[in-house]
Amino acid sequence: MKLLVPDHVAFETTIPGVVVVPFDPTVPIPDEHTDAQGLVGWGMPNELFADAASRLGRLEWLQLLSAGSDAALAAGFRPEVAIMSGRSLHDAPVAEHALALTLAAARRLHSLVRAQIGHRWAGEFGGIQPEPSPGLFSTLRNANVVIWGYGSIGSTLSPHLIALGADVTGVATRTRTAGDVQVVTPAQLPQILPSADVLIMILPSTPQTDGALDADLIAALPAHAWVVNVGRGSTIDESALIDALRDGRIGGAALDVTVQEPLPPSSPLWDLTNVILTPHSAGGRPLGAAELIEENLTAHLRGTPLRNLVTPRREA
């Protein structure tokens, strides 16, 4: 079996019959390797996923290292190709980034950095401060945090929020109790958002989640609430969010993802003073990637169940 692995991914195997071929994921796969039966997808632009789907006629197995699988699913791979996601590989890095964005919003680091750039001592943020600060999200102590998209990343993040004093509610497809977190369905969002101090979005990009946080749900948030998005930009109605931010109808937004990436220079998000932007940098560190590749490669060759299977292989 010829296995194509991006040249920036450290992977070696002793599995008999497997030949690992490094490739540059930023350019089309060379013609001499289009006979590969296995492919590790990481760092490939969407158009190169589509190119691989059209040219790798013998492909059987595609292991993604991204938590999301939307790009690969849209690429047009044959139904015979088993596609596995990198779910769980990004839990710790993305949870850490979400926590950093939430704390940055609470401690108003975005305003402090702007003052620093202007060589201004922002005295209004120092000295004696009321606690809690009226009309502001200023602390995680006793804060109500809603995590929409409560999966493995959310369950990694929630203990850190709880340790800092927050009450966490998860939102997912089914109601359940997960440790200290009560998980509800999206149908209950209109009831729980009016008391939220922070809404953390960790939704994947699917037709069902497109624009999930719409104008009505944004309007349900209190004026001091922050929206943090470390999922996919498409899950928020960006125009409605911009309007709410510009009008001061919510406290702010900390966004690691946007609808269009890179974010165009013309976007109003750049200049809104109640916005924190990071360049889709929450992930990018698939922890345990080699182990997942090895596990699923072994399972594929043995015909045993695959971990994180997104599209069960079907006979043509």
Tell me if 43 sits within 8 A of 66, measured CB to CB. Answer: no
DSSP 98-140: HHHHHHHHHTTHHHHHHHHHTT---GGGSSS--SSPTTS---S
Q: What is the mean pLDDT of residues 245-266?
A: 98
Sign for the CA dihedral angle at 14, 19, 20, 22 comes to positive
pLDDT-based confidence at 313, cuts 50/70/90? low
**According to the model, what pLDDT value does residue 221 have?**
98
Residue-averaged pLDDT of the chain: 95
Position 131 scores a pLDDT of: 82
Q: What is the pLDDT of residue 3?
A: 98
**Percent of the chain with pLDDT strictly greater than 70:** 98
CA distance 291 to 7: 17
Residue 22: strand pairing partners: 5
What average pLDDT does the segment 74-101 reach? 96
pLDDT in tens, 22-35: 999 999 999 999 99
Task: Check residue 137 and give left, alpha or beta (phi > 0: left; psi -120 to 50: alpha).
Answer: beta
Region 67-89 average pLDDT:
93
| Contacts of 301 by beta carbon, 8 Å cutoff, 6+ apart | 1, 15, 17, 18
Give me the residues paired with residue 167 across strands: 144
Handedness of CA 247, 251, 256, 259 (dihedral sign): negative
Sign of the torsion formed by the C-alpha atoms of 122, 124, 126 and 131: negative
Whether residue 315 has pLDDT greater than 50: no
pLDDT over threshold 60, residue 136: yes
pLDDT at 316: 34
Instruction: Indicate if the pLDDT at residue 208 is higher than 50.
Output: yes
Cα–Cα distance measured from residue 63 to residue 309, given in angstroms and rounded to the nearest whole number = 9
pLDDT at 225 over 70: yes
Q: Which two tokens stand for residue 239?
A: 């125009």
The predicted pLDDT at position 89 comes to: 96
- pLDDT value, residue 314: 46
pLDDT-based confidence at 312, cuts 50/70/90?
low
